[in-house]
Amino acid sequence: MATQDEVIRTVVVIAMVVILMGVLVLELRFLRARRKRRMDTADLPDRAHNAILTTKAIAETLARGGVRSQEADDAIREADAAYRTRNYRVAIELADRAKSLLRAAKQRYQAQGDLAKIEGTPAAAPVEEITTKEKLTKELPPNYAQSRFSLNLAGEEIEAARSHGQDVQTAERHLADAQVAFDAQDYDVALRDAIRARRALETVSPPPGPQTPATAAPPPPTPPSPKARACTNCGTAVAEDDAFCRKCGAKLPAERTCPSCGSLVPPDDAYCRTCGAKVQ
């Protein structure tokens, strides 16, 4: 009986060890996968940048040899736009698509041989264009990338306009319609509404600043004429150099001048009528 108990304990221990090893293996796989995803996410900007640079270098090298692809150039421009808006995965996909288009163009050029160099075959351009567009249509819906970029740009421009106090209600309405169309995979309508949202910001004038009434500045007060002195007793006009009134004989006060501007100041005024300075 003791032998059976030992066997059972041994089996249990072995089973527990196997289970623990299995759990450890699964945990290690999970951690590795998670770490790999984090590393991929952190490396996305560099990968996108390198992919775009490599694709541009390939396009320039093939162009010097006479191999050109307008579709590849368009894909490179879209990749640049995606990189500027931080859509790094889209930028990598567009760069890879441009490489595929360049490889296809090179193969067609090599297949045509010397005939392509002599004739240039302008009639073959529509056939190549149709073939390339068919490939793009199968890989990415039309206007998908353009509508997505326009949505992001419109959102950034609306936020900037709102921070400057601009009215963005119309632009927000068009942007909401564009987002609904994008979610419904109607990329043509999404692109149209996103463009309308951006144009709505251009037609809205900035908020008016504080305005001052356009009234003419009041004319400065006319200083009293030096010769228009009056007697402080009877009010009779007296000359500038008179010390006594010619009518009542009252003594006239000495003339007062503004210490700031030199204008004559009437005896009863405490402030200069020309500059407003206080007069003793």
135/148 same-domain check: no
pLDDT mean over 247-273: 80
Q: Is 12 within the bounds of a domain?
A: no
134/60 same-domain check: yes
Q: Is 23 within the bounds of a domain?
A: no
60/115 same-domain check: yes
Q: Is 26 within the bounds of a domain?
A: no
56/95 same-domain check: yes
Q: Is 210 within the bounds of a domain?
A: no
Q: Measured between alpha carbons, how far is residue 111 from residues 90, 104, 107, 115 in Å? A: 31, 10, 6, 9
| Residue finishing a domain among 203, 234, 252 | 203
Q: Is 28 within the bounds of a domain?
A: no
Q: Measured between alpha carbons, how far is residue 78 from residues 8, 22, 98, 133, 196 in Å? A: 67, 47, 10, 15, 20
Q: Is 88 in contact with 47 (CB distance < 8 Å)?
A: yes
155/120 same-domain check: no
168/246 same-domain check: no
Residues 130-149 pLDDT 10s: 555 555 455 667 888 888 88
Q: Is 102 within the bounds of a domain?
A: yes
Model confidence at 126, in pLDDT bands (50, 70, 90)? very low
| Bridge partners, residue 256, by sequence | 265
117/180 same-domain check: no
58/129 same-domain check: yes
183/259 same-domain check: no
Segments forming the whole domain that contains residue 239: 226-280
Q: Is 64 within the bounds of a domain?
A: yes
62/126 same-domain check: yes
148/130 same-domain check: no
85/111 same-domain check: yes
pLDDT at 92: 92
Q: Is 25 within the bounds of a domain?
A: no
Q: Is 78 in contact with 145 (CB distance < 8 Å)?
A: yes
What is the total count of domains within the chain?
A: 3
Residues 40-90 pLDDT 10s: 566 888 889 999 999 999 999 999 888 888 999 999 999 999 999 989 899
pLDDT at 272: 82
Model confidence at 191, in pLDDT bands (50, 70, 90)? confident
